[in-house]
Structure 1
Amino acid sequence: MCCLYIKPTKNIQNILSVLSFLLVVNVILLFSVNGNAQTLMSGVNLDPGTIVSENMLQVTGSTTFTLSNGIKVHYKFADKNKNDVQFKAISYGGFSLIKDCDFATAQVLSKVMPFFGLGDYSKTDLPKILAGKTANTSIHISNLTESISGSSITKDVETLLQMIHLHFVKPRFDADAYQVLMKHIDNDIIKRSHTINEKINDSITTTLYGNNNPKQRLFNHDFVKEVSYDKLKAVYKERFNNAADFEFFIVGDIQKSVLRTLLEQYIASIPTNDVKEMWQDNSEPWLQDTIDKDIPLKIEVAKSSVRIGYKKAMAYSLKNELIAKALGDILRLRFTENLREEVGGTYGLSIQASMLKRPLEQVSLQIAFDCNPDNVQQFISMASQEIKKITNGIIAQTDLDKTKANFLKERKLQENYNSYDMSLLINYFREGYNMNAPKNFKDLVNAITAKDLQSFAKALIKDSKSYEIVFSEGVDDR
């Protein structure tokens, strides 16, 4: 529930999305005719391992398999979604262990790798080999972790685990596909550099972190020049070189007896070593503790965009995480009523409060809205007043009751899906708590009071670091 990490800046996230568009199947392999799954493993010499221990855990209803190569697999049967099996492998490290000179390459790695195919097969040939199978896998690197995710229908779990095996043992790199892809990226950078949202995101990044921060980059031609084919191979092999440093999770509609054999064949056969990694704190501070800036931009529509943010060091707890979320939801209710209904003239509103756990325990509040240029200062003042009301204990009980009811309703709906059981296992084994225990959710939600919100908001605002950035019609000098 709770990893804090410095996400890639929004402009980088947006530009990377074009790669998903260019990747026709977006790493998801859905096929319709019969084929021989074993051909996927051509050129791979499998040396099956064994399951050396099998421990059942009643509190989660799961079984942990320890394999002969040191990998641990946490498994739970779940058929809330029939004919659905989900996979996840997670390891600590991520961007936090990447050298600055390789950071740009690492940022694009997870979007580029699907263009190369897998094992002996290119992206074009892979669908032919996997005809008749429904399985998908993807890799991901975040600030603190690297992971492999996947899913399949029940009959194709073997194919899913074969693909996982190949991600560790025989990833594919394609120099020709890389060259074509980089040309597409260069063209897209030119197009996106003229969009107002990209200009806003770039400006926020440079305002908070400066022009040359190695971890908070603008996705531009200079960024792309630092990406190289050789670096892609090196970074991938560095981050995914030891499967025993990953924790494996399998949840879904597959019987334990069937899974055991497949684990020994495809997962226990992955070569491993004894090297274990841990994330490092590479969090980046803002340039100043308080930032107040007006930025002129050439905007076609007559509007201004406002971004307000607060952050403060605060001890993490499940209780604080829920209170932070409640604070954001209640502020959204109040802003929506006041800014849209009473005053009018807003074009968009986003509010998020979150409690973060690592690498730093910290709470943050972010507010974003667009409005008529004539109303900017009025709306900023109203936003400040709504926050001040909560710090003064002026909180409508109806707003609090509605927010708490929504929390409980959302959780009830989540429990109807296999994905909930995946979260249950990940939070139990990696975060150390049981999502099903009332004391870790239901009791905490019911116990939230107006006084809790007041105290939390006071602690957040007092001596916090903050920014207020207003983008208005003007001459864009960039």
Structure 2
Amino acid sequence: MKHLFRKLGFAVIMLCGSFQLASAQMQMPPIPVDKDVRIGHLDNGLTYYIRHNALPEHRVEFHIAQKVGSILEEPQQRGLAHFLEHMAFNGTKNFPGDEKGLGIVQWCETKGIKFGVNLNAYTSVDQTVYRISNVPTDDQSVVDSCLLILHDWSNAVLLSDKEIDKERGVIHEEWRSRNSGIMRLYTEAQAVMYPGDKYADCMPIGSIDVIDNFPYQAIRDYYAKWYRPDLQGIIIVGDIDVDQMEAKIKSVFADVKKPVNPAERVYYPVADNQEPLVYIGKDKEIDDPTIEIYFKQDPTPDSIKGNMAYLLQQYMLSMTTSMLNSRLNELRQSANPPFIYAGCYYGNYFLAQTKDAFTLSISSKAEGINEALKAGLTELERVRRYGFTESEYKRARANYLQRLESAYNEREKTKNDSYVNEYINHFLMAEPIPGIEFEYTTMNQIAPNIPIMAINQAIQQGGLLPDNNQVVFIAAPEKEGIVCPTKEEVVAQLKGMKDLKVEAYVDKVSNEPLMKEAPKGGKIVSENTNAIYGTTELTLSNGVKVYIKKTDFKADEIQMKGVSLGGTSLFPDNDKLEMSYLNSVIQAGGLGNFSKVDLTKMLAGKKVSVNAAVGANTEGITGSCSPKDFETMMQLTYLSFTAPRKDMDAFASLKSRIKAQLESAESNPLSSINDTIQKMMYGYHPRYFSMKPEMVDQINYDRIIEMYKDRFADASDFRFFLVGNVDIEKVKPLIEQYLGALPSTGRKETFRDNHMDIAKGMLENTYAKEQQTPMATVFMLYSGKCKYDLKDNLLMSFLTQALDMVYTEEVREKEGGTYGVSSYGQLSKHPNEKFMLQIVYQTDPAKKDHLNGIIDAQMKKMASEGPTEEHLQKIKEYMLKKYKDNQKENGYWLNNLDEYFYTGVDYTQGYEEAVNNITVKDVQKFAADLVNQGNKITVVMTVPEK
């Protein structure tokens, strides 16, 4: 190890002048590859990664990653890479999806593998990835079939004329729904950000003209040219036999031929620029102005990423971005913040995989673009000139090592998807995969030996913030009063950074403990070791009840929830403004003697969080921690009850940001429909109001503090639930010390029935609003009374899932009318049993009436006939699989404990039997009962007629 440290010391010296690795690469040992993953290559060029992993039990993940994306398209092919991804689900050799057999989506859903949840894909500029996740392994034929799907995606997608034409409409509507103001400006900016480069026109959604009109052979040629084994990686992780799976891969993919004279997979370079590149764009549908400042860097070559120096580089970059983000967050919470949000990161330069960048992203106030730009550049110059302080570095390093320790502690509980993501990045971008044991051991020895001087020197010598390769993107609302800097002014600000009057950052750190002295605790007065769901029930002397469920699902996690009845329902209607902002105002103030910023600093190196909130019917507190930080979680809980902190600067900052966001939201057409929906639902009720920017200054801070203190003045009726890796005997004294000391007055209360019920009757509102991309947004809401029990909650889930399936088939696939129809339903127990069921979609304004007719007809059909048996069985498979998975989740048990005490409904006992017993008739009757109550609100936002 001493020999390694000599090499590491040399690497740090080399890195001081730059964050790049060319000088250090030959001096460093290689990073090992995790011994538990098997990596192999077939003769045809296919790469595979296989790993056995037992979590979740009896589940496996199948992925195929392609080194293919929209950058490979020619101008006449713009959009075909993404279009091809869609087509991979619309018929393959072994899953044709017509009269010859089930398609991939249809077959997967018969096995509980839900489309859009467990079955999905994405296309980006340089890569395309398909996934089949959470596959049950109990039936070997299901596992074999999923491997066959990967085979078909690799080289046996059918691409029939009929399916291509059906998908044109779907993708056209996807483009419509995503063609927002910011996306239009990003697309336009590419030519400025990549002058003369291939990346100047490569957005995956492509050209609508191409999508609507490309000849069938064009996509077949693209598929044959680029979907080939030398560009493909198979990633399979889960509860499987590695040897057996390897043999199956070799057999199943044996017929995939090695390409003859394949086209070269070019990774297109991005040119350097000496003078700043600046794009400034305006759009009527931009909300908050956005500023992005890029400092382009040469990426680390793949050949060097396997070298230990790369690990050093990534660590130093992580520290840099972490420390700067902390400063930006602190500035954001000042009394008059120069921006709504600001954050930095290091990664790909916008869309390009062949260029990296240090990026500062800023969300500005509408009238403060110049101020925000200057503030951002000032903070960058402050870092470049003075670097970071030792105390900042100490906190950032502590947080880094804490995350590493948590991952190490969870190494036996790591889930499949974590490994999958690592292996995809290894295949596509040569990112190292040493395994957590190596990373934990190595970085715990390396990190303490890298001084802050090394990081500061690397920054100060131009390694991160060079004078060339600067790019600025500004997007602003197109409306009166918005002043954007000119390109010349932006360039002048960039060139004038070194002339700014900047002082060194002063890190204000309190040495005060979180609590100066522990409170006088209470006692456990009774203990029941066999309470609900196998919990241990503790009753404390102040009336607080604690339910502890010890699990071994995660080694480094304890989740907490405390709840009491009452909430904002107990406040008068004239407090409605304060009710709306109570939680955000309280959270902004911090706790005890610590501001929110100081509290973040004080908790560095700890895995703990606690949040208190007042809801409509309840007040509560949630938290999570590592077992070793349990006492800190208890202290934060005690302070949340007893010491909310008033901070006028934090309040002024919050008001400033709220006002700016409200003003900006007026530019977004979707904010219009949200306001319209809320007014139709609740406009008659005395607690309803529509928030406007000028109302922000009316928020009464003192009243909010008073309301919050009232809700947390009495803990005697609170129930706390603790779920996770809890050593019950160890935590008992801490529970007595802190929860037992919570204030207790013995008041008995519940919530009041003064809530805003949804308006009754058949109500409609269709209105027109100018939109840059013509679109109709449709919202339908059914409401009324409904019994609240396990069966009816299950029936609501069955109904919404069945509607999603029907609308996908009828509206998306057959009509090509929308990218998707979303159905969501919810039952509520208190203050009276009721339901809401909403259906939302977007489409071409010319199609809305026709599609609304289909949606209404299918709802009526559901109420008269119910779902098909095929759909019913698919839903059952998914719900039963999800139920089994949930049994191993701390959050599932925490929520069930809360649900049981709040509603009296047990979602764990008899669940599987209840699901299996649901019939088509049950769903039909349930749908009819909802629809026949005659309460439906329909809101349609469309465009003015020409």
In the alignment, which of 260, 268, 272 is matched to residue 744 of structure 2? 272
Give the Å deviation of 1:442.
Answer: 0.9
In the alignment, which of 542, 548, 552 is matched to residue 79 of structure 1? 552
| 1:163-242 mapped onto 2 (5 Å cutoff) | 163-210=636-683, 213-242=685-714
Deviations 1:117-152 (A, max 9, x none): 211111222233323322101122221111110000
Cα distance in 2 for residues equivalent to 1:131 and 1:236: 27
Give the Å deviation of 1:435.
Answer: 3.3
The equivalent residue for 2:909 is: 437
The AA in structure 1 aligned to 2:916 is: N
2:761 matched to 1:289? Answer: yes
Asked if 1 retains the 8 angstrom alpha-carbon contact of 2:796 and 2:825, the reply is yes
2:716 matched to 1:248? Answer: no
Percentage of matched positions with identical amino acids: 31
User: CA, structure 1 residues 189+36, in 2 after alignment: closer, same or farther (shift >3 Å)?
Assistant: closer
The AA in structure 2 aligned to 1:40 is: L
Q: Which has the higher contact order (CA 8 A, sep 6+)?
A: 1
In the alignment, which of 721, 729, 752 is matched to residue 257 of structure 1? 729
Cα distance in 2 for residues equivalent to 1:326 and 1:394: 10
Give the Å deviation of 1:40.
Answer: 0.5
Give the Å deviation of 1:201.
Answer: 0.3
Cα distance in 2 for residues equivalent to 1:198 and 1:397: 40
Cα distance in 1 for residues equivalent to 2:755 and 2:522: 40
User: CA, structure 1 residues 31+216, in 2 after alignment: closer, same or farther (shift >3 Å)?
Assistant: farther
Give the Å deviation of 1:271.
Answer: 2.3
The equivalent residue for 2:534 is: 61
| 1:130-145 mapped onto 2 (5 Å cutoff) | 130-145=603-618
Asked if 2 retains the 8 angstrom alpha-carbon contact of 1:80 and 1:416, the reply is yes
The equivalent residue for 1:101 is: 574
The equivalent residue for 1:454 is: 924
User: CA, structure 1 residues 65+394, in 2 after alignment: closer, same or farther (shift >3 Å)?
Assistant: closer
The equivalent residue for 1:385 is: 857
**Matched position secondary structure for 1:125:** helix
The equivalent residue for 2:794 is: 322
Give the Å deviation of 1:301.
Answer: 1.2
The AA in structure 1 aligned to 2:576 is: F
2:946 matched to 1:472? Answer: no
2:511 matched to 1:41? Answer: no
Asked if 2 retains the 8 angstrom alpha-carbon contact of 1:309 and 1:365, the reply is yes
The AA in structure 2 aligned to 1:161 is: M
The alignment yields a C-alpha RMSD, in angstroms, of 2.6
Asked if 2 retains the 8 angstrom alpha-carbon contact of 1:308 and 1:469, the reply is yes
User: CA, structure 1 residues 292+317, in 2 after alignment: closer, same or farther (shift >3 Å)?
Assistant: same
**Matched position secondary structure for 2:823:** strand
Cα distance in 2 for residues equivalent to 1:64 and 1:58: 6
The AA in structure 2 aligned to 1:109 is: L
Asked if 1 retains the 8 angstrom alpha-carbon contact of 2:549 and 2:722, the reply is yes
In the alignment, which of 542, 551, 561 is matched to residue 88 of structure 1? 561
The equivalent residue for 1:119 is: 592
Cα distance in 2 for residues equivalent to 1:260 and 1:137: 19
**Matched position secondary structure for 1:199:** helix
In the alignment, which of 871, 874, 885 is matched to residue 402 of structure 1? 874
The equivalent residue for 2:885 is: 413
Cα distance in 2 for residues equivalent to 1:470 and 1:375: 12
The equivalent residue for 2:785 is: 313
| 1:295-374 mapped onto 2 (5 Å cutoff) | 295-374=767-846
Cα distance in 2 for residues equivalent to 1:149 and 1:316: 25
The equivalent residue for 1:4 is: none
Deviations 1:307-351 (A, max 9, x none): 111112122221111111101110110001110111113144211
Cα distance in 2 for residues equivalent to 1:253 and 1:206: 46
Q: Whose Rg is larger? A: 2
Cα distance in 2 for residues equivalent to 1:472 and 1:36: 55
Asked if 2 retains the 8 angstrom alpha-carbon contact of 1:31 and 1:130, the reply is no
Relative to structure 2, which stretch is displaced further, 232-241 or 341-350?
341-350
Give the Å deviation of 1:286.
Answer: 4.5
Give the Å deviation of 1:418.
Answer: 1.3
2:620 matched to 1:150? Answer: no
**Matched position secondary structure for 2:861:** helix
Relative to structure 2, which stretch is displaced further, 78-87 or 130-139?
130-139
Deviations 1:209-237 (A, max 9, x none): 33x74423323225424412111211111
Relative to structure 2, which stretch is displaced further, 103-112 or 70-79?
103-112
Asked if 2 retains the 8 angstrom alpha-carbon contact of 1:333 and 1:399, the reply is yes
Relative to structure 2, which stretch is displaced further, 225-234 or 378-387?
225-234
Q: Structure 2: give runs of 5+ residues left out of the alignment.
A: 1-286, 289-331, 334-339, 344-395, 403-508
Deviations 1:275-322 (A, max 9, x none): 122011123344552202211111221111111111121222211111
Cα distance in 2 for residues equivalent to 1:59 and 1:139: 25
User: CA, structure 1 residues 442+57, in 2 after alignment: closer, same or farther (shift >3 Å)?
Assistant: same
Give the Å deviation of 1:32.
Answer: 5.8
User: CA, structure 1 residues 114+388, in 2 after alignment: closer, same or farther (shift >3 Å)?
Assistant: same
Cα distance in 1 for residues equivalent to 2:899 and 2:529: 17
Aligned length: 451
